[in-house]
Amino acid sequence: MNEIRLGISTGDFNGIGPEIIIKALNDPNISKLAEYFIYGSEKIFEYSGETLSTGQDISNGLETVISSVVHSGSEPEHKDFVPSQSSKISGNFAYQSLSKVLEHWLEGRIDGIVTAPVQKSTFFPERSEFNGQTEWIADRIGCKDSLMFMIKDWIRIATVTTHISVKDIPGKLTQKIIVEKAKLVFDSLKQDFGIEKPSIALCGLNPHCGEEGRFGDEESTIIKPAINSLKNEGGQWTGPLPADTVFTEKSLREYDAVVSMYHDQGLIPFKIYSGLSGVNFTAGMPLVRTSPDHGTALDIAGKGIADESGMKKAIRTAIGIIKRRTGKN
């Protein structure tokens, strides 16, 4: 019996979550890596299997999924399963699924989790204080410090700010928050990726790092002092560097990670490089949590053409980090 116990949330069942879970676990190279617990409903995967059965053999993967489903919330009815149409019902079920998997992690029943995509508009209540799963998960498990860390092979890109309006970014950037987030990157590279002396680059905020204050001074007044403070942590710290040069392949290969100042500054280049096989890892939490770096893909849900490579990579990444943290095989 495999020592690693991995929980997988269903995500929005009217998106591609069930499909990529079925396809990923139908790969024997993935299914052998851990003992899997899928938080959802047999009916969801049966409906997905009906939709996806044309032109491909998913019977083994479907059987594996159904045999390990942990019930999460009330059972959806067949009429609720409408691929490409996220609803309050599918959003609430995604909420219940993720709540259950977190509950079981807190109880010690599983070692880590992989989260399938949710639709924010139906997952979160209208007036929710949260704008993403990352922040919501951290709050649910009582973790004050967390970080969105995007992973694809040798590319690792973190973000200081995440889901906020662009106009609010300068006001949110402080020396304190940059140091806190960068330390999480440093610690994660050592603990989760086995890099003894991390080399980390930090982006500037403004084009060309502000051209010596011509159009912005955040580099000199906030980011550079933060970097000087970080040098006391050990490792190698470089920056601030202009975002239009640090994200070239040559430059990215020089560093173990790059810390961007805001969401799109880091995620646009990351997704250009990673395609559909990037991983969103939440660093800084005692919980090992990864997710495919894509959304619910409602436009292709139910068509059987979703690419499961991101889910496979998320599973492999979670298992690798769990092994490094716990020593389990």
- Give the three-class secondary structure for 200: strand
- Give the three-class secondary structure for 9: strand
CATH of domain 145-282: 3.40.718.10
Residue 134: what residue type?
T
Tell how far CA 63 is from the center of its chain. 27
Give the integer Cα–Cα distance in Å for 290 and 114.
5
DSSP per-residue string spanning 89-154: HHHHHHHHHHHHHHHHHHTTS-SEEEE----HHHHS-TT-S--SHHHHHHHHTT-S--EEEEEETT
Taking 3-state DSSP, the helix, strand and coil percentages for the chain, each rounded to the nearest 5, stand at 45, 15, 40
For the four alpha carbons of 129, 131, 133 and 135, in that order, the dihedral sign comes to negative
CB 283 within 8 A of CB 146: yes
- Domain coordinates in residue numbering, the chain: 1-143+285-329, 145-282
Question: Hey, do 1-143+285-329 and 145-282 end up sharing a CATH topology, with the first three levels equal?
Answer: yes
Say what the pLDDT of residue 126 is.
66
The verdict on domain 1-143+285-329 having CATH code 2.70.70.10 is no
Digit-by-digit pLDDT tens for the chain (329 residues) are 569 999 999 999 999 999 999 999 989 999 999 999 999 999 899 888 777 655 566 677 788 888 899 998 888 888 999 989 999 999 999 999 999 999 999 999 999 999 999 998 898 876 677 777 888 899 999 998 899 999 999 999 999 998 889 999 999 999 999 999 999 999 999 999 999 999 999 999 999 998 888 888 999 999 999 999 999 888 899 999 999 999 999 999 999 999 999 999 999 999 999 988 899 999 999 999 999 999 999 999 988 889 999 999 999 999 999 999 998 76
What does residue 119 show for φ and ψ, rounded to 5 degrees?
-100, 110
Say what the pLDDT of residue 129 is.
77
Say what the pLDDT of residue 55 is.
54
Say what the pLDDT of residue 53 is.
58
Say what the pLDDT of residue 276 is.
80
Say what the pLDDT of residue 135 is.
86
**Long-range contacts formed by 242-246: CB under 8 A, 24+ apart:** 242/203, 242/204, 242/207, 242/208, 242/209, 243/203, 243/204, 243/269, 244/207, 244/208, 246/201, 246/203
